[in-house]
Amino acid sequence: MTDEGTALSLDDVVRFHNAGEPYPPKSFVVTFDDGFANNLTVAAPVLADFNVPATVYITTDFVENNRMSWIDRIEWAIEETPKVGLTLPWNSESVNAGDVEDKRALLDDIRSHVKSDASIDPDILATDIQLQCGLSETWSTLDPLDLKLTWEQVRELGNDSLFIVGGHTHTHAILSFLDENELADELDTSLTLLRDNAGVGNTHYSYPEGLAHCYSDTVIAALKARGVVCCPTAIDGVNTPDVDLFNLKRVPVV
């Protein structure tokens, strides 16, 4: 990408946007969500070799307690179980999955329902699925794929001129599903922990899940009131020069 394009930081994006200046040809930005330790241990050295800046969005409860997200808890349970048989709240019949393709389809179905239905508590569902798989309730592992950054590591990233650290809520809640008080608590808790533990300001944030229905004008107003100036979505696509900084699209890489 660096051979043909121009790597920008999100601070660069904000500056170009506010000044009304054209972006360099084939500009791109690198971002990471949640706060995985491998952002520092694996990705950061590679990015540094190519002098590519990046933004890391931190879910503060994940860092505080090395927690897995609800979907990571479910993925872990399904991966640990050779033959899965689940009863799910939106399906009256048991769903079975034994091979890799069936498990992927099952996970896609779970993601789709949880991300679109505010009545489903994702953490309760994750615990229920773990128990149905014959496993104990598990919120944290030391698997390198699931391990989260420590506050010391967050500070290390924040002190590196190549990296920006931003917020990604406290518990990874879908912000548009929250009432006014819950929304304020998610934003304020995350921003306070980032400031107190890593010296991170309020400039950058990203929406958990990030689909069109996962944020709203109310959410954007709450973020702006707290000093946030840029908050990308997880909607797949590229951006035009006049895109609003609270509706930036991203290209997911898994």
Residue 175: pLDDT band (50, 70, 90) is very high
Q: Please state the pTM of the whole predicted model.
A: 0.94
- pLDDT (tens digit per residue) in 186-212: 999 999 999 999 999 999 999 999 999
How confident is the model at residue 3, as a pLDDT? Answer: 78
- Tell me the three-class secondary structure of the chain, residue by residue: CCCCCEECCHHHHHHHHHHCCCCCCCEECEEEEECECHHHHHHHHHHHHCCCCEEEEECHHHHHHCCCCHHHHHHHHHHHCCCEEECCCCCCCCEEECCHHHHHHHHHHHHHHHHHCCCCCHHHHHHHHHHHCCCCCCCCCCCCCCCECCHHHHHHHHCCCCEEEEECCCCCCCHHHCCHHHHHHHHHHHHHHHHHHHCCCCCEECCCCCCHHHCCHHHHHHHHHCCCCECCCCCECCCCCCCCCCCCCECCCC
The arithmetic mean of pLDDT across residues 2-21, rounded, is 94
Average pLDDT of the chain, as a whole number: 96
Query: 184 or 253: whose pLDDT is higher?
Result: 184
CATH class of this structure's domain 6-67+144-225: alpha beta
Q: Any idea where the domains of the chain sit in the sequence?
A: 6-67+144-225, 70-132
- pLDDT (tens digit per residue) in 29-55: 999 999 999 999 999 999 999 999 999
The arithmetic mean of pLDDT across residues 14-34, rounded, is 96
